[in-house]
Structure 1
Amino acid sequence: MIRSALVWMGFAPDPAFAHAGGHAHGHGHSHHSHGDDDHGHTHGVIDATIASTAKGLWAIKWSFVILMLTTLAQVAIVLLTGSVALLADTIHNFGDASTAIPLGIAFLFARKAATRTFNYGLNRVEDLAGVVIVGLILFSAVYAGYVSIERLFNPQPIEMIGVLVAAGVIGFLGNEAVAVFRIRVGRQINSAALIADGYHARVDGFGSLAVVLGALGVWLGFPLADPIVGLVITAMIFGIVWQSARAVFTRMLDGVEPGIADEIKHTAEHVPGIVDVLDVKARWLGHKLRADVDIAMDPDLPVAVADRIASHYERELKNHLPALTAVQIRTRAAAV
């Protein structure tokens, strides 16, 4: 849980290359299996191991519903109490819920066939939706920070402390429900990314409990407790913005996680007839991966045999990297 939180906040390396796989190899190479803790959480980026299964999409849809209901309940209480800490937490929970939005948009466009203009289809819409989500979360963070700072210099009485405490508890229970749900479904479909999302929701629940601490601080005679908690939660939202923007723009610029190339080279070790992997290039189109690979073979092999080896390699790649939807394999003669 702690590692997931650090990755999400951008303070630990993000081993997101595992998002392309989530596949534990049955070749006795345990160092290539991906565990539950190998995934960070990124708003606006769709994980391939979740998007590739109907149950994963189903989990995302219901997570969206639960978090949105939690957010709406908190909005009503913000209007009643005027708590900026609760406002910041509400914005935070809305940011979590909105992760499902690019997923829905992307799948609507991904269903459209490629055309003479859009030869690779419209999967890039997912990246554009991610940029929009990051922008909205950034705006929300700035607004929450502004309100918290303004309230810090101009304290105002917080009304209905008991209701405010209840709102914090509602936020915690909503996030915990999503956490349990995502972790359970993630284990059922063997998706480390969905499990990590569950742990992220659990960490967010502690953010909602911070609202309770702020309310108790106000009740004990420390009116600044509310805006201080609001600033803490605002800092958490800025952490989301930084980590998400880094991932989204990396993909938009055709960047991929270095581990993907390592996985492609490793897979060649399980295909008899491949002497070496000379070059690897890969790129994301939405949550789908495409790759170009140059491999070296014995120059004396018949063309038909070389074709069978290349076909075998392609099948192995798609088994090792479920997100890989298209791969172009070029063969070269190995140096004698």
Structure 2
Amino acid sequence: MLGWVAHAVTPHSHDSAGKTDTALESSSRGMRVLAISFAVLMVTAAVQAVIVVASGSVALLGDTLHNLADALTAVPLAIAFSLGRRAATRRYTYGYGRAEDLAGIIIVLLITASAALAGYEAVLRLLDPQEIRAVGWVAAAAVIGFAGNEWVARYRIKVGREIGSAALVADGLHARTDGFTSLAVLLGAGGAALGFPLADPVVGLLITIAICYVLRDAAREIYHRLMDAVDPALVDAAEDVLAGVEGVRRVESVRLRWIGHALHAEVEILVDHDMSVVRAHEVAVRAEHRLIHDLPRLRAATVHTDPDGPDGADHHAPLADHHTP
């Protein structure tokens, strides 16, 4: 009996059709958000670019470049969402969801480029100050930049949280930061109007610093995803769910990872060592069902059952030399 029960530890995975349909709908909503926000930000950047040429404001140039970079982040994210909808293959057995992480790296590089270019232009203008023209239009462009970014930020954050896409939420927060840097351009315009020409490049440098802070946060977010980091509260929640499943004596381990904007789980539970193979399988299926329905954005779970007892028994002795501490 013990030998049969020990082999009942064969993992069982569950990925319901409903979850798959939900994932496809989430990707479709994400694509729609990206398309609309891309159009809004491109129009915003285009209007600002015209005023940059007319005014020569380096602060507005930095803001325009940042808005353009923010709009372009929609491109790699859209490609990632599209790839994530593809079915798993024998080579990519977990599917293509991790394409979002690759898109995140591209986004970080785009933010880095915008920071470097904005800072370079601001330093040049500090060394060679120039009069700002059309100050009123510069102020108007700053307000336009704030309005466009704040609208996009609200839209991305709302939908990103609803579909569980950390990349989309982070991109929304990025847009919100862009909005506040647009308001900072007003300071440069105000300074220029009061007869302080250096106010414009100084604000340009401040905007560059703000972009660097966004870069730090975005890089940290992508690093966490690449290292399979999750919120410890999710692990606690999974353990609580499993502990409440009838037949589960103890939860041995819980491992969670994000694949795109969906969670996947691998867990080990202990069941009575006298339990039949069929009964142990039923407990595993109940545990999967509870996890998938009670843990937000969990799309699939693999449950490994181990026999609990008898005292002194080591059911994994043959594997002892293969487990690293």
Normalising by the smaller structure, the TM-score range is 0.7 to 0.9
Aligned to 2:115: 141
Letter in 1 for 2:237: E
1:70 to 2:44 alignment: yes
1:285-296 mapped onto 2 (5 Å cutoff): 285-296=259-270
Whichever structure has more helix as a proportion of its residues is 2
Which amino acid in structure 2 is aligned with residue 278 of structure 1?
Answer: E
CA RMSD of aligned residues (A): 3.0
Deviations 1:194-240 (A, max 9, x none): 78876764554232111112101101011111111111111111112
Aligned pair 1:153/2:127, yes or no? yes
Q: Deviations over 1:19-78 (max 9, x none)?
A: xxxxxxxxxxxxxxxxxxxxxxxxxxxxx9998364454334322221222122112222
CA distance in 2, matches of 1:259, 1:321: 11
Q: Compared with structure 1, are the counterparts of its residues 266 and 100 closer, same or farther at alpha carbon in structure 2 (3 Å cutoff)? A: farther
Please tell me the residue identity of whatever aligns with 2:134. M
Q: Does 1:123 align with 2:97?
A: yes
Q: Deviations over 1:113-163 (max 9, x none)?
A: 333332222333222221112112111111111111221222111111111
- The residue type equivalent to 1:323 in the other structure is R
Q: Distance in 1 between matches of 2:235 and 2:89?
A: 29
Which position in structure 2 is the counterpart of 1:237? 211
The alignment status of 1:315 with 2:317, answered yes or no, reads: no
Residue 17 of structure 1: aligned partner: none
Cα distance in 2 between the residues matched to 1:190 and 1:289: 12
Task: Indicate yes or no: 2:225 matched with 1:251.
Answer: yes
Task: Give distance in 2, aligned partners of 1:242 and 1:179.
Answer: 18
Compute the displacement of 1:294 (Å). Answer: 0.5
User: Partners in 1 of 2:285 and 2:31 — Cα distance?
Assistant: 31
Task: Count matched residues.
Answer: 288
Q: CA separation in 2, counterparts of 1:160 and 1:73?
A: 14
What's the offset of the Cα at 1:322? 4.0
Instruction: Tell me the TM-score normalized by structure 2.
Output: 0.77
Q: Is the 2:256–2:264 Cα contact (8 Å) retained in structure 1?
A: yes
Partners of 1:191 and 1:285 in 2: how far apart? 11
SS in 1 for 2:76: helix
Q: Is the 8 A contact 2:88 2:96 kept in 1?
A: yes
> TM-score with structure 1 length normalisation?
0.75
**Partner amino acid for 2:298?**
L
Q: Distance in 1 between matches of 2:227 and 2:131?
A: 48
Structure 1: runs of 5 or more not aligned? 1-47
Equivalence for 2:193: 219
Q: Which runs of 5+ in 2 are unaligned?
A: 1-21, 312-325
Mapped partners of 1:50, 1:173: distance in 2? 31
Cα distance change of structure 1 residues 179 and 123 upon mapping to structure 2, 3 Å threshold: closer
Q: 1:77, 1:167 within 8 Å by CA — same for their partners in 2?
A: yes
Alignment of 1:56-135 (within 5 A): 56-135=30-109
* Greater Cα shift, 227-236 or 265-274: 265-274
Contact 2:156/2:171 (8 A) holds in 1: yes
Structure ID, larger Rg:
2
Equivalent-residue separation in structure 2 for 1:303 and 1:96 (angstroms): 54
- Contact 1:49/1:323 (8 A) holds in 2: no
Contact 1:71 1:94 in 2 (8 A): yes
3-state secondary structure, aligned to 1:52 = helix
Amino acid at match of 1:230: G
Distance 1:59 1:316 in 2: 31
Identity fraction in percent: 48
Q: How does 1:250-289 map to 2 (within 5 A)?
A: 250-289=224-263
Q: Distance in 2 between matches of 1:133 and 1:175?
A: 17
Whichever residue aligns with residue 303 of structure 1, its letter is: V
Q: CA deviation at 1:326?
A: 2.6
In the alignment, which residue of structure 2 is the partner of 1:3? none
1:233 to 1:49, Cα distance in 2 relative to 1, 3 A: farther
SS at the partner of 1:274? coil
